[in-house]
Amino acid sequence: MTTTTTMTAVNPTASRRRKGGGQDAVGRGPREGVIPRTAAFLVMGVFTLYFLTPIWWLLIASTKDRGDLFSTNPLWFADFRFFENVGALVAYRDGVYLRWLLNSLLYAGVGAVVATLLASMCGYALAKYRFPGRETLFNVVLGGVLVPATALALPLFLLFSQVQLTNTFWAVFLPSIVSPFGVYLSRVFAEASVPDELLEASRLDGAGEVRTFFTVSIRLMFPALVTVFLFQFVSIWNNFFLPLIMLRSEELFPVTYGLYAWNSTINQFPELRTFVLVGSLLSIVPLIITFLLLQRYWRTGLGTGALK
């Protein structure tokens, strides 16, 4: 429901823009040849196919029962049993899959909101306040962008073991609310989009720094915040190594880890195969919804950045 409304809300803007761009190209840019154009479409077409085929396969596979999965064309429908499969998945072991899905939403949703807030405050402070060690601090944060989350998982495990927080919600949540890239993006964006004059005006009107941030600056930074949120949401949703190392109790698993655990035992317990397939398909739905809901803001954000 929400998806369709957003789609229609977004599409007019998109097509208008595309039209505008086309006029520009005809008016000012060099004329496109037919052959490069065809070649470009061909390359794009091939890659689209390349990226969409696995998803198509997944979609088809989740509509089949176990027998048809191997004996029928892998890229076309056989007996349509999608809803039976979903029903079986949801019913399996008292709906543990739904629990995982909710966990993922909690880790990724709440985690990304908090991460965005922290990152934007930090980036804003680095952009708008002068204090000793500012650049050093920024460079340290920037260095954090270079450290892959996977490399940090094990030290984090040993650290969390010391304070007895492994196998808790916090073990996955706390590391997720840190986003060095978000700080970087927020700083760049705050520098570009929040004028110093506006801050001075706000101060003259008697607003404190916190109030200024939350009522004035945060609105100007909104497109950047959406981008940070989206990046963080996706990376927490897809984060797999950290939960693998931290979590032992099934009821805390995010959906990625849960599916991995099932998948690892398929050789021994082949009946899990259908659950893994259907579960994987369902697990990308929230990501798609989030993207569709936020893409309007996201696009504006990128565009604004590019013009400055």
Contacts with another protein, residue ranges (CB under 8 A): 66-67, 69-71, 74, 93, 148, 150-151, 153-155, 157-158, 161-162, 164, 166-167, 244-245, 247-250, 260-273
In whole angstroms, how close is the CB of 124 to another protein at the nearest point? 32
Considering the complex, state which of residue 159 and residue 198 has its C-beta at the smaller distance from another protein. Answer: 159
Considering the complex, state which of residue 69 and residue 118 has its C-beta at the smaller distance from another protein. Answer: 69
Considering the complex, state which of residue 90 and residue 110 has its C-beta at the smaller distance from another protein. Answer: 90
Distances (CA, A) of 245 to 172, 233, 235, 241: 10, 20, 17, 6
Considering the complex, state which of residue 150 and residue 238 has its C-beta at the smaller distance from another protein. Answer: 150
In whole angstroms, how close is the CB of 286 to another protein at the nearest point? 23
Residue type, 165: L
In whole angstroms, how close is the CB of 270 to another protein at the nearest point? 3
In whole angstroms, how close is the CB of 160 to another protein at the nearest point? 9
Residue type, 153: A
Considering the complex, state which of residue 123 and residue 175 has its C-beta at the smaller distance from another protein. Answer: 175
In whole angstroms, how close is the CB of 265 to another protein at the nearest point? 5
Q: Give the residue from 221, 235, 236, 156 showing the smallest Cα distance to 191.
A: 221
Considering the complex, state which of residue 8 and residue 71 has its C-beta at the smaller distance from another protein. Answer: 71
Contact between residue 272 and residue 57 where contact means Cβ atoms under 8 Å apart = no
In whole angstroms, how close is the CB of 118 to another protein at the nearest point? 25
